[in-house]
Chains A and B, each alone.
Chain A
Amino acid sequence: MPFDAANLFPILPEIAILVTASVVLVLDLYLKEKDKDINHTLTLIGLLVAIGLTGAVGGGDARVVFDGNVVRDGLTDLLRGAILVVSLLAFVYARPWLKDRGLFVGEFYVLGLFAILGMLIMVSANSFLTIYLGLELQALSLYALVAFDRDSKKGAEAAMKYFVLGALGSGMLLYGVSMIYGATGSIEFGPVAQAVAEQGMDNKVLVFGVVFLVIGVGFKFGAVPFHMWVPDIYEGAPTPAVLLLGSAPKIAAFALAIRMLVDGLEAIQPDWQGMLLILAVLSMGLGNLVAIAQTNIKRMLAYSTISHVGFIFLGLLAGSAQGYASAMFYAIVYAVMSTGAFGILLILSRKGFDAENLDDLKGLNDRDSWYAAMMALVMFSMAGVPPTVGFMAKLLVLESVVRIDLVWLALVAVAFSIIGAFYYLRVVKVIYFDKPDPDMPVLTTSGGVRFAMSLNGLSLLALGLFPATLLSWCQSVFV
């Protein structure tokens, strides 16, 4: 069978990222210390090119290439775009931090780009094999990024935990895949879906495999009880690494869930619905409760992630087009919010000082009222206060749950989100009503960072006021 070069068109964004990573990897060898900015510039250009290519090759009917290993459809287009944009912001925020600590080296960009490549592969995967490999590529790069600061013991410990638990999670996922393969005889989502639809829910092997798949998904998302890595890694890893692994990977994890559970196994939705339901309730409950007790803001955000994952699961478990669309909306919005929150922490950090406690945000309003306003927007959005987009996102997932007559679940979710509002609003209170320590130096940031953060923060408001465009994109994916 001759190879058709047209196969390559749908994966042009992946190719662009791979090329950028390789160029940075090689070029970095020849760059002098003072020229390292070229890495940064190249990375940004690469991401922009990939965004452009995503637009260029996107749209139109779904297209399966590489003998059923890759698919380019609406989901691919939208998630690719979201991942790339969010990562772009992350790299912009990370640069000053890296420079201050002598970590401004090419490897950060190479590993970051490879992680992005892994996510892109996941969103365009059409078989269990491809999606697993994308997952591993992303995870391996992220393990290395967590340990990136070699002099940090906490970083090394976090990376170790992440690595071991990640291996355990991947192992379970792989085991689940093997069960699905055993039951259906295929690893490609299309044939799997067909076989599953024929066998229905009688086949216990399928259910058995799905349990493992759900655990894989739950681990990647950080859902209770597979969340244990999240707080330790968020706290221990260098903040830029957290920024990279706390934002876009959630979008990739969403793709993982949709591709495997919906594209492949929608016929046994009642089974995985129950599993996701348990994980969702536990995540919302534990995440919100424990976050209250945190004084380390990175840890607090870690638990907040866990609770948001619960909300994303609400949309997924609804099992309706509306539910998937709302979960997708939520995942994208969450990635943007999380990027903003960690971006602010990076802005507040400086040479020899990492902002990671709640107290480090004290009186931010007096130090820089614009960043204070942006952080407040992020926090309001996370808490789900209208008119920010966080409210819209919560409303949509709740609507999808109510529509399948799980009103009690919606009530539980609302109760927990009220509890959750407490710790987000506490951050706002600290920013606006506490006095800053007098020895805090003036915040100095480059225009680029300020621009990116303004874009980041205001987008939450703009999306909240005008959610229809993004929402209709999300909905058009699942029709």
Chain B
Amino acid sequence: MENVYLTIVLAPLLGAIIAGFFGGRIGRRGAHSVTIAGVGLSTALSLLVLARFIWGDLPVYNEAVYTWMVSDGIRFEVGFLVDRLTALMMATVTFVSLMVHLYTIGYMADDEHNWPHGALTGKNSYQRFFSYISLFTFSMLMLVMSNNFMQLFFGWEAVGLVSYLLIGFWSTRETAIFANMKAFLVNRVGDFGFILGIAAVGMYFNSMDYAEVFAAAPAHAETQVALFGGVSLMTLICILLFIGAMGKSAQVPLHVWLPDSMEGPTPISALIHAATMVTAGVFMVARMSPLFEMSETALSFILIIGATTALFMGLIGLVQNDIKRVVAYSTLSQLGYMVTALGASAYAAGMFHLMTHAFFKALLFLAAGSVIIAMHHKQDIREMGGLRRYMPITWITALIGSLALIGFPAFSGFFSKDAIIEAVGHSTLYGSGYASLLLTIGVFVTALYSFRMYFLVFHGTPRMDEHTRHHLHETPWVVTVPLVLLAIPSVVLGWLVIEPLLVTNWFATGDWNPIVVAHDHDTLHTLREHWHGQWAFVLHGMTMPPFFLAMGGLALAAVVWWFTFAKNPKIDDQLQAMGGPVTKVLQAKYGFDDFNQKVFAGGSRMLGRALWLGGDRAIIDDGVVNGSAHRVAALAQRARHLQTGYLYHYAIAMIVGLVGLLTFFVVL
């Protein structure tokens, strides 16, 4: 199987290299054909691997493919760990990525309009974009399939780097540059914690290999680190690793990069925020479950951060008017759900939601992108309305996506979200009550903002200008086919996979169990014990508060933004005005951005300036660097005169050298 796994990883890389380096020569067709072929091959093979895990008896693969170097007994390797958890992730990542590739053909078709006339960076931008998204897929696969911390870190950083390139893809736009810099810097903060965590693992376990570290972990359960007056090693490692996850999976307070990253082209919003980058953190925590299970403190921390993100980010979604930003805040909120599930030790539920979310969120992003294409790159939902008549496929698929998102019964989101809420309800950790409450309210908010957007965009009277409306039509097949293909799993996936994932612990293969849950953390046990099939789960769910809250939100949204809006188009603004200070706070996004901008950015700039003037220019530049450079140059000029060109000088130098060595080593 090694060759299959290598092909899965390397095919997108090869496509990226060809499209990136030879994009000018092979042209647009060549670039998208080669990258789609690469990702398509990966997808097919990933699905094959998944199928063989489901219906066959494929053994777990955990081998090093290449030893990069060995230092002080720690082996740095490139290796793959492919078990059912990985296979699930691989299939999700490659499938969504393939859809995004297809969709990009349509979305980026007229990309030259997005560049200033004659801009050099706009040359071959189409090919470059394909190269980037393929490279992104490669990075993500490296991260997911890794069997050791080093490769995990490589994938982690590679994903960060490519996301930087993608968010700032339209590099002539100020806002895009700002957004990608922000994403990069915020991710660096997370990565800092992450690499410290990895370093701690390396230091105490003397290994980078997952299996070895997991096996050795119980021995370190009681180890204390003399830091802040003594913390448990496991807590330290887990919290540090989780800080990395907070960066990638955009958890409060490291979430600020995600909404801004909507500056990138829509396909990458779908790729980054649905299936790949943001799920990296969730996946990583699930993968590390044997470590996280050993620290209740870390789990509580995760629980609280996740729940906070889930509710409060959803609230901001209510006051956003940019179609992509609404979806972005909903992503933040849903990530909060996943992370909360992890905190409640319901890793399986987190992964379950990650998977269903990957499909319906990709669907929503791509639908939003479809709308944006039709609207000639206008993104303000206040200027839309009534689009369902012009774009039936987009309309239906967006409706399916929204229903899945709010957890409408029997849609995929319903199963995963209900499972999470139930699991968190059973958790006994510190903060679980808080988390449970926030998640439940979050359901209402989710329904409200999702359908606010839905109604404003697709229903009511068209509010766009005459010219745009005249040109409104359904988008081409490369856009709609991915929508349809994503809509199908958005509906049925939850129904299909809830039983294996949550009830029968499908993840375990033989004696290898990637998801380890300590006995008293097992919050999914009631769900397992009272499992009577999907129908029963749906019926049971329909008697629970989350269902009523979701329906309430949906109904409220319908009342306000469908019925009332038709008569009183000012209702949205009036409601926001009624909110008063609350609206202000939400519109300011709780002030995170301003705070970062003033305190961190401003402060570090000030500090930097001071250091630059005092330290760098005065001491280092004038003193050390230039000073020593001058001295070196002078010395070099003098030393070159040693070489006279006379043979006997050379000979005597050798003799003197001989005498010197003899005197020093023999006589003395």
With A214-B661, A292-B636, A293-B637 in contact, do A168 and B643 touch (Cβ < 8 Å)? no
Q: Are A165 and B643 in contact (CB under 8 A)?
A: no
The answer, yes or no, to whether B1 is at the interface (CB within 8 Å) is: no
The answer, yes or no, to whether A468 is at the interface (CB within 8 Å) is: yes
Within 8 A of B (CB), among A211-237: 211-212, 214-215, 218-219, 225-226, 228-229, 231-232
| Docked pose: A466 CA to B67 CA in angstroms | 9
Q: Are A290 and B658 in contact (CB under 8 A)?
A: no
* Other-chain residue from B635, B636, B645 in contact with A232 (beta carbon distance below 8 A): B645
The answer, yes or no, to whether B665 is at the interface (CB within 8 Å) is: yes
Interface string of B616-646 (1 = CB under 8 A from A): 0000000000000100110111011011010
Stretch at the interface among A26-34, A271-279, A352-360: A271-279
* Other-chain residue from A160, A215, A228, A419 in contact with B661 (beta carbon distance below 8 A): A215
Label chain B's interface by main secondary structure. Answer: helix
| Docked pose: A226 CA to B656 CA in angstroms | 10
Most interface-central of B69, B636, B637, B662 (chain A CB within 10 A): B636
Stretch at the interface among B306-314, B476-484, B647-655: B647-655
Q: Are B639 and A289 in contact (CB under 8 A)?
A: yes
The answer, yes or no, to whether A169 is at the interface (CB within 8 Å) is: yes
Q: Enumerate chain B residues within 8 angstroms of A225, measured Cβ to Cβ.
A: 653-654, 656-657
Q: Are A471 and B69 in contact (CB under 8 A)?
A: yes
Q: Are B636 and A169 in contact (CB under 8 A)?
A: no
The answer, yes or no, to whether A164 is at the interface (CB within 8 Å) is: yes
Count of interface residues, chain B, beta-carbon cutoff 8 Å? 30
- Closest A residue to B655 using CB positions: A168
Q: Enumerate chain A residues within 8 angstroms of B68, measured Cβ to Cβ.
A: 466-468
Q: Are B647 and A160 in contact (CB under 8 A)?
A: yes
The answer, yes or no, to whether B666 is at the interface (CB within 8 Å) is: yes
Q: Are A228 and B654 in contact (CB under 8 A)?
A: yes
| Docked pose: A290 CA to B639 CA in angstroms | 6
The answer, yes or no, to whether B228 is at the interface (CB within 8 Å) is: no
B595 CB to nearest chain A CB (Å): 37
Q: Enumerate chain B residues within 8 angstroms of A172, measured Cβ to Cβ.
A: 654, 658
- Closest A residue to B659 using CB positions: A211
The answer, yes or no, to whether B66 is at the interface (CB within 8 Å) is: yes
With A161-B647, A226-B657, A228-B650 in contact, do A292 and B67 touch (Cβ < 8 Å)? no
Q: Are B632 and A468 in contact (CB under 8 A)?
A: no
With A168-B654, A225-B653 in contact, do A290 and B643 touch (Cβ < 8 Å)? yes
Most interface-central of B649, B657, B664 (chain A CB within 10 A): B657
Q: Enumerate chain A residues within 8 angstroms of B654, measured Cβ to Cβ.
A: 165, 168-169, 172, 215, 219, 225-226, 228
- Closest A residue to B667 using CB positions: A204
Q: Are A228 and B649 in contact (CB under 8 A)?
A: yes
| Docked pose: A274 CA to B668 CA in angstroms | 13
Q: Enumerate chain B residues within 8 angstroms of A271, measured Cβ to Cβ.
A: 665
B636 CB to nearest chain A CB (Å): 4
Within 8 A of B (CB), among A453-479: 466-468, 471-472
Q: Are A292 and B633 in contact (CB under 8 A)?
A: yes
Most interface-central of A168, A215, A225 (chain B CB within 10 A): A225
* Other-chain residue from B67, B640, B649, B665 in contact with A293 (beta carbon distance below 8 A): B640
* Other-chain residue from A212, A228, A292, A422 in contact with B653 (beta carbon distance below 8 A): A228
The answer, yes or no, to whether A433 is at the interface (CB within 8 Å) is: no
Q: Are B650 and A211 in contact (CB under 8 A)?
A: no
* Other-chain residue from A161, A165, A211, A286 in contact with B666 (beta carbon distance below 8 A): A211
The answer, yes or no, to whether A370 is at the interface (CB within 8 Å) is: no
The answer, yes or no, to whether A208 is at the interface (CB within 8 Å) is: yes
| Docked pose: A181 CA to B30 CA in angstroms | 71
Q: Enumerate chain B residues within 8 angstroms of A86, measured Cβ to Cβ.
A: none
Count of interface residues, chain A, beta-carbon cutoff 8 Å? 42
Q: Are B633 and A228 in contact (CB under 8 A)?
A: no
* Other-chain residue from A165, A278, A286 in contact with B639 (beta carbon distance below 8 A): A286
Q: Enumerate chain B residues within 8 angstroms of A212, measured Cβ to Cβ.
A: 658
Q: Enumerate chain A residues within 8 angstroms of B645, measured Cβ to Cβ.
A: 232
With A161-B647, A228-B650, A232-B643 in contact, do A275 and B636 touch (Cβ < 8 Å)? no
- Closest B residue to A160 using CB positions: B647
- Closest B residue to A282 using CB positions: B657
| Docked pose: A165 CA to B653 CA in angstroms | 11
B157 CB to nearest chain A CB (Å): 14
Q: Are A293 and B651 in contact (CB under 8 A)?
A: no
Q: Are B650 and A293 in contact (CB under 8 A)?
A: no
The answer, yes or no, to whether A88 is at the interface (CB within 8 Å) is: no
Q: Are A215 and B657 in contact (CB under 8 A)?
A: yes
Q: Enumerate chain A residues within 8 angstroms of B69, measured Cβ to Cβ.
A: 467-468, 471
- Closest A residue to B629 using CB positions: A422
The answer, yes or no, to whether A320 is at the interface (CB within 8 Å) is: no
B16 CB to nearest chain A CB (Å): 16
| Docked pose: A168 CA to B656 CA in angstroms | 13
Interface string of A309-346 (1 = CB under 8 A from B): 00000000000000000000000000000000000000
The answer, yes or no, to whether A178 is at the interface (CB within 8 Å) is: no
Q: Enumerate chain A residues within 8 angstroms of B640, measured Cβ to Cβ.
A: 290, 293-294
- Closest A residue to B661 using CB positions: A211
Q: Are A293 and B657 in contact (CB under 8 A)?
A: no
With A164-B651, A228-B649 in contact, do A215 and B639 touch (Cβ < 8 Å)? no
Within 8 A of B (CB), among A116-167: 160-161, 164-165
Q: Enumerate chain B residues within 8 angstroms of A168, measured Cβ to Cβ.
A: 651, 654
A290 CB to nearest chain B CB (Å): 5
Q: Are B636 and A164 in contact (CB under 8 A)?
A: no
Q: Are A211 and B662 in contact (CB under 8 A)?
A: yes
Q: Give A residues with C-beta under 8 Å from B.
A: 160-161, 164-165, 168-169, 172, 204, 207-208, 210-212, 214-215, 218-219, 225-226, 228-229, 231-232, 271, 274-275, 278, 286, 289-294, 399, 419, 422, 466-468, 471-472
Q: Give B residues with C-beta under 8 Å from A.
A: 66-69, 71, 629, 632-633, 635-637, 639-640, 642-643, 645, 647, 649-651, 653-654, 656-658, 661-662, 664-666
Which A-B residue pairs are the 3 nearest by beta carbons? A228-B650, A225-B657, A293-B636
7 CB contacts below 8 A, A to B, read: A165-B651, A168-B651, A290-B639, A293-B633, A399-B71, A468-B66, A468-B67
15 further A-B contacts with Cβ under 8 Å, apart from A274-B665, A293-B633, are A160-B647, A161-B647, A165-B647, A165-B651, A208-B666, A225-B654, A228-B649, A274-B664, A286-B642, A289-B639, A292-B632, A292-B633, A294-B640, A466-B66, A466-B68
